[in-house]
Amino acid sequence: MKNFFKSLKFSFLSILIMFPLFLTADEGMWLPLLLEKNYSAMEKLGFKLTPDQIYNLNKSSLKDAIINFGGFCSGSIISKDGLILTNHHCGYDAIQNQSTVENNYLKNGFWALSKEQELSNPGLSATFLVRVEDVTQKVMGVNNENAKYAPWDSAMQSVTKKIVEETTKGTNYSAEIKDFYGGNTWYLFVYETYRDIRLVGAPPESIGKFGGDADNWMWPRHTGDFSLFRVYTAPDGKPSAYAKENIPLKPKYYLPVSLKGIQPKDFAMVMGYPGRTRRYETTGGIKFLLEQSNPTRIKLRGAILRIMKIDMDENEEIKLKLSSHYASVSNYHKNFIGQNKGLVRMNTIETKKAEEDAFRKWVSADATRKAKYGTCLDDILSATENLKGYNLARDYMNELLFSAGGVLQIPYLVSDAYKMMKKPSPNPDTLKTFITETSNKLKNHFKEYNYATDKKIFTAVMKMYYNDAPKLFHPTIFDDIEKIYKNDFNAFTDDVFNKSILTSEEKLQKFLLAPNVTELENDLGFKTMQSVLDSYNNKILPLATPERRKLGIATRLYLQGLMEMKKDKQFYPDANFSMRLTYGKVIDYIPKDAVKYSYFTTLDGIIEKYDPWDEEFFVPQKLMDLQKAKDYGQYVDAGGKLYVCFITDNDITGGNSGSSVMNGKGELIGLAFDNNWEGMTGDLVYDGTLKRCINVDVRYILFIIDKFGGAKNIVDEMTLVK
């Protein structure tokens, strides 16, 4: 689930939907303020708190300890001094940026033995939810007059922008409005964001990433996927950029940490910020993913990974630079493969068709329903089919600009400064601010950049883009490659990388000292990126926008009709990176004939997987010594075993990485970090028998901090419950 949101840019089919049929008690990602509907089911599973103790505007509650970490993951506050617990892979970029070949914190780990040793991370943030408000009437209009618009239409965006501006005026808060149930319901989310976030602790990769790509999305798992940060504030407690005089946050609430351990069927609750689910995608949408979108992304990312892996294996410095980006690309490359296999295994298309047939039959039975909902499924199908014609080019553009990384990401980093420079009379102070911010972004970018690798990836992806995408949607830069370079992509790449300032931090920083719009616009790398974007804006978007609009409006009607048809069913909204709560239980599973997986793994399993010749299964000598001596301290279960990971049937997805896993009393028992291979369809279809949430046991986290890392000072600031 690493860096999930990087894979969402330019997505045509990121529509909000739900899966209302055959709901189980565990299924669904629920808004914390609406838990009254779920309370009795949660109590039956072992929930001991009240809904007010989870979400409350007038006093502290669990929601005040749950954060959006960095804009792409989840995290939780676990001490009175603002200590953050999140995943190792969520903190990976920050840890990598702090590392050098001489002080490689990815390889060796990092532990701050005092607050003075904690490391600042420019650009990293922690965002707290202040409140949520239903603004459906304000957005849709009292008489639902805005129902004729899709959620992303400018008319809707204008309304939501006005509400956000009114809400945040005169405050240091931010706000956003999100649509639910395909645009039938709208909620306003108000946030407070802190930007002085310091690294406190991280295990070495051999623990935090144990199992690597081989074990990614798999169970059983033995990965200590956690890292620790701290929120700092200005002396008056308000958000502030890094300053030496800043102090640790005094949170409204923080989670107590349980040492009591887990048992089968124990209640488990996950709170965090899940990304995107599309639980009521139609048959056309499923076919679209199976036949075109996923295979395209699998092919492209596979090529990128092969190039990166060769270079990373040859040089330790290159490996350090590229490791975070490699993990990001690899994560969803494997996810797309598993998703396709799961959709076929579950006969998803046949199941979806049966649901749609039942809806059509219900609509046809009533003239009023037929007038309102009669064409919505046909409209969804036709729009989805038409979008397939544009999607291949869109996918190639998306992968070239984002997954491929490197040279064509630079224009996005300089975009704010570029827009300001383009103005007839730019404000000098504002321009200076943008230039400074851009300079800092570039420094971080080039910490993860390798010229030779980027050059190979650029050539490979441009060739695939040219050969596979419909010629109608080719960017005009391909005309130059044909005419000037005679289709020699290597020669074109040589020119880009030899002449463009985008491939050199030194050249870019020099440019920023005396920025010139004409110089940038004539740069071959910049022109290439502009050509790709122009193709999207001028060739793809005009054709795709009407289909997207039709899809959005039809989806809203379809979901409205489903809720009307199934009035006795409890509907949950799709995930959309707003705070959600899911509840379930600790449970094992049987993935196939004659195979049964236990609900937990132990340190003994790490030793069993140890392979000194495979970096993904390397085990530090100190950890082996602790295991041999059974020196586990207070972190063992009643039988003397040290649990590493455990599984629950909580409903999670990308973005939930770093989410707290709590028992029925709201005490921290683990940290969610992955789904299992058999549950890869979870973004589209929930399978309660096979889908599992993989978590690090909090006792293993404490053991690594204390016994392995020697940073008992960090454990001492937590509230441990025995």
The catalytic site residues sit at: 89, 225, 657
- Euclidean distance between CA atoms 39 and 50, whole angstroms: 8
Can you tell me whether residue 84 is helix, strand or coil? strand
What are the Cα distances from residue 144, in Å, to 136, 147, 269, 562?
9, 6, 36, 18
- DSSP code for 540: I
**Angstrom distance (rounded) from CA 288 to CA 286:** 5
Residue 720 phi/psi, 5-degree rounding, is -90, 135
Between CA 216 and CA 14 the distance in angstroms is 25
User: Which strand (E) or helix (H) includes residue 505?
Assistant: helix 505-513
Is the distance from CB of 297 to CB of 642 less than 8 angstroms? no
CB within 8 Å of 638: residues ≥ 6 apart: 261
- CA trace torsion 27, 593, 261, 218 (10° rounding): -80
Residue 130, judged by CB atoms within 10 A of its CB (0-12, 13-18, 19+), counts as middle
109, amino acid identity: G
Rg (CA), the chain: 25
- What does each C-alpha distance from 64 to 60, 70, 128, 253, 655 come to in angstroms? 6, 17, 7, 6, 18
**Distance between alpha carbon 673 and the CA centroid of its chain, in Å?**
11
Find, among 699, 518, 468, 489, the residue nearest to 603 by Cα: 699
Do the bridges between strand 600-602 and strand 643-648 make them parallel or antiparallel, or are there none, so unpaired?
A: antiparallel
Burial 601-631 (b: 16+ CB within 10 A, else e): bbbeebeebbeeeeebbbbbeebeebbeeee
DSSP letter at 290 equals I
Cα separation, 557 vs 537, in Å, equals: 28
Give the helix, strand, coil percentages of the chain, each rounded to 5: 50, 15, 35
CA–CA separation, 194 vs 241, rounded Å?
8
Rounded CA-CA distance 335/324 in Å is 17
Return the structure tokens found at 545. Answer: 């926008």
Angle between the N-to-C axes of helices 541-565 and 348-364, in degrees from 0 to 180, rounded to the nearest 10: 70
| CA neighbor of 120 nearest in space, from 189, 45, 193, 197 | 197
Cα separation, 656 vs 695, in Å, equals 11
Helix (H, G, I), strand (E, B) or coil at 96: helix
N residues, the chain: 722
Q: In whole angstroms, what is the distance from residue 247 CA to residue 244 CA?
A: 9
* CA dist 408 → 5, 297, 402, 413 (Å): 18, 18, 8, 10
Would you say the C-alpha torsion 392, 414, 327, 77 has a positive or negative sign?
A: negative
Q: Contact, 640 vs 604, CB < 8 A? A: no
Strands (E), 518-642: 580-585, 589-592, 595-597, 600-602
| Cα–Cα distance for residue pair 715/698, rounded to 1 Å | 11
